Amino acid sequence: MLSGIRPTGFLHLGNYFGAMRNFVRMQNEFNCYFFVANWHSLTTHPDTQFLKKSVNRVIAENIACGLNPDQVALYVQSDVPEIAELYLYLNMLAYKGELEKTVTFKEKARMQPDNINAGLLTYPVLQAADILIHRAVKVPVGKDQEQNLEMARNFAERFNHRYGEVFPLPYGFNYGGELVKILGLDGEGKMSKSENQLSTLYLADDDETIRKKIAKAKTDQGPATENAVKPDYIENLFTLMKLVSSEATFTKFLDDYNNSYEGKCLIRYGDLKKQLAEDMIAFIGPIRDKAADLQSNPDHLKKIIQQGAEKARASASETLRLVKKAVGTD
Ligand code: ATP
Ligand code: MG
């Protein structure tokens, strides 16, 4: 099982419930590789100091969320040079036309027209190398990544066809039915690392910030009829409450909502938000504090990252040995 995350910003509640929570579960069931994709983030030419800090923070936040670095391989992409070597081999099997056609390339090219570098074009090849270097078969990805995963399968198949069977084919993985999408508190779009920041709850937010953001969450004057369908922004508050509050609290507010109608409004959004804020603080607080703790001890963090690199390189060098033997460069 393999998954990566780009160090492009602060991790948020959407990342937690949409991705990390599942990773924490997977680590008990599969042989897991998780990495911070710092080479990938170079396509946008980030500031060097910022990049280094972000890498450490993402590692720390993942551990704080429950990933156990003794159990999984938690590593930084650039610590595993075997990935770059495989990337070279795969580039010989990737065609300009197909790379230019990928949705993510076209999107990124539109967003940064002055910096359409070759790394951006060959992003799917590097992604394929990330996966194939461990001969991973399960890749938990969102819908937006399906095309890139298909390309990874294509490159693997081409390699196998030309040089001999080395790679099993990787497929998307999720726990079915349980995919959550956390909207921004303003009800516009989703919580995000890079957009919508005032409406996104970050795992690094302090208590006061959490209170303020939730207090500003969009609501309205209440439902007009009993058992009314909830607008997105109200549904989202209940989604959050279901995730972080007690069953009894959730049920109380839901009953209040369902029994409210115009002229008799039982649901008090002010109270709901206050309760949600306190429960959110109880949820985010320990993660934030643990992540901060880890980041305040760079030597310890460095050891964890080294340990991850060793595990990843053990698996990667074995794959590369097979690749070179197949190609004839051994
Ligand atoms: P960026 O703004 O840089 O695209 P992001 O916040 O969208 O960042 P990604 O790095 O693109 O985060 O995604 C990491 C993981 O988090 C993916 O598995 C994605 O599906 C999940 N994820 C991101 N945002 C949400 C959200 N609001 N709700 C649920 N899952 C989410
Ligand atoms: Mg995204």
Distance between CA atoms of 174 and 159, rounded to whole angstroms?
Answer: 27
Residue-wise pLDDT tens digits, 80-118: 999 999 999 999 999 999 999 999 899 989 999 999 999
| pLDDT attached to residue 177 | 66
Catalytic residue flag (residue 325): no
Q: Determine which residue's CA is closest to atom 18 belonging to ligand 1.
A: 19
| pLDDT attached to residue 258 | 98
Task: Give the mutation target among 107, 174, 192 for probing the ligand 1 site: most ligand atoms within 8 A of CB.
Answer: 192
**Residues having CB within 6 Å of any atom of ligand 1:** 5-6, 8-9, 14-15, 17-19, 142, 180-182, 190-195
| pLDDT attached to residue 230 | 97
DSSP code of residue 17: I
Ligand 1 midpoint to CA 7 (Å): 12
Ligand 2 midpoint to CA 120 (Å): 16
CB atoms within 10 A of CB 134: 23
Distance between CA atoms of 169 and 224, rounded to whole angstroms?
Answer: 53
Task: Give the mutation target among 1, 12, 15 for probing the ligand 1 site: most ligand atoms within 8 A of CB.
Answer: 15
Catalytic hit among 108, 138, 218, 273: 108
As a dihedral over the C-alpha atoms of residue 101, residue 107, residue 113, residue 117, rounded to 10 degrees, the angle is -60
Ligand 2 midpoint to CA 6 (Å): 10
Which residues are paired to 75 by β-bridges? 35
Catalytic residue flag (residue 193): yes
Distance between CA atoms of 183 and 235, rounded to whole angstroms?
Answer: 9
Catalytic residue flag (residue 190): yes
Atom of ligand 1 nearest to the CA of 140: 18
Q: Which ligand gives the minimal distance to the CA of 191?
A: 1
Residue-wise pLDDT tens digits, 3-43: 999 898 899 999 999 889 999 999 999 999 999 999 999 99
Residue-wise pLDDT tens digits, 148-190: 999 999 999 999 999 999 999 999 998 876 678 899 999 888 9
Tell me the residue type at 110. R
In this predicted structure, the answer to whether residue 291 has a pLDDT above a threshold of 90 is: yes
Catalytic hit among 193, 218, 273, 311: 193
